[in-house]
Amino acid sequence: MTDFITELKATNPIVMTVANTITSGDVANGLNAIGVSPIMPSAPEEAEAMVNIAQGVTINVGSINQEQFRQSQLTCKAANSQGKPLVLDPVAVASSPYRSQVVDTLLRDYDFSAIRGNVGEIAFLAGVAWDTHGIDAGGDEVDFEQLTTIVKTCAQKYHTIVIMTGEIDYISDGKTVKSVPYGTPAFATHVGTGDLLSSLVAAFLTVASTDEYLEAAYQAALTFALCGQKVNDKLPGQWFNGLLNELYLVSNDKINHWEKEELHHG
């Protein structure tokens, strides 16, 4: 199996993000910490040129408007024509008709390698009833079967890898479902951690073959969750800086060791 972290740190891939303006700085710093070179252009006129130099692409609709929608379309077209990994983050997709229409158009017209969203966002895309509330949508009374059905249904509908994040992350290609049970409430204290994970998934896909995309997405979610877990005792301001430090220091050996520790303590 590919050691995705070692490959990332050795190759320093360029990941282009059509960014959420609220979180772009944190996403850039998080990518940079693990060894990825982030670019976040905003002009539609240079979309194709920027995709040319990137190894992976993320479309984040967090602060979508008509100009950014046009940029997103041109970016997706270029990424598809060049065979570059393309990840969608459908931020708050159910919160307005405009936002829903934008995401629907992108998913209809372009092929995405992966979609990363929270339970509410993924349930909406899957067409499964769910109590959504802004960007942080979830429910208290949920079960494993319901969540696995949501993530598998979404993956089957769009023929892609789906990463559904929450206290437990679920990753599916429509057949297999993998889970990462190492979430921490600290992630909810910092706006933009989901956005960072979406771009991190794109980074991991750049060093994976297409038949490794499910495993690469899983490893991205696992790495992110365990790095956040290691600094779980920090206050919110210190926690995000701690997360950056762990991403900078992380290795495949560390992830394997941490996961064994978590399994032992669990």
Is the model's pLDDT at 89 over the cut of 90?
A: yes
Q: How many CB atoms lie within 10 A of CB 183?
A: 18
Nearest to 149 by CA among 168, 121, 180, 170: 170
Return d(Cα 26, Cα 196) in angstroms, integer. 7
Rounded to two decimals, the pTM is 0.95
The SS3 call for residue 9 is helix
Span 174-219, pLDDT tens digits: 999 999 999 888 999 999 999 999 999 999 999 999 999 999 999 9
User: For residue 260, what pLDDT is reported?
Assistant: 83
Find all residues with CB under 8 Å of 255, minimum gap 6, and list them: 5, 219, 222, 223, 226
Return d(Cα 18, Cα 205) in angstroms, integer. 17
Return d(Cα 185, Cα 171) in angstroms, integer. 19
Element (H, E) at 180: strand 177-180
Homologous superfamily of domain range 4-265? Ribokinase (3.40.1190.20)
Find all residues with CB under 8 Å of 167, minimum gap 6, and list them: 138, 183
User: For residue 142, what pLDDT is reported?
Assistant: 60
Q: For residues 70 and 64, is the Cβ–Cβ distance under 8 A?
A: no
Computed over every residue of the chain, the mean pLDDT equals 93
Q: Is 192 labelled a binding residue?
A: yes
Nearest to 171 by CA among 200, 187, 148: 148
Angle between helices 252-265 and 213-230 (to 10 degrees): 70
Return d(Cα 253, Cα 266) in angstroms, integer. 20
Span 57-74, pLDDT tens digits: 999 999 999 999 999 999
Return d(Cα 122, Cα 213) in angstroms, integer. 18
Evaluated on CA atoms 250, 9, 87, 219, the torsion sign reads: negative
The mean per-residue pLDDT over the stretch 121-149 comes to 75
User: For residue 135, what pLDDT is reported?
Assistant: 45
What type of residue sits at position 93? V
Beta strands in the chain (DSSP E): 14-18, 37-39, 56-60, 86-89, 114-118, 161-165, 169-172, 177-180
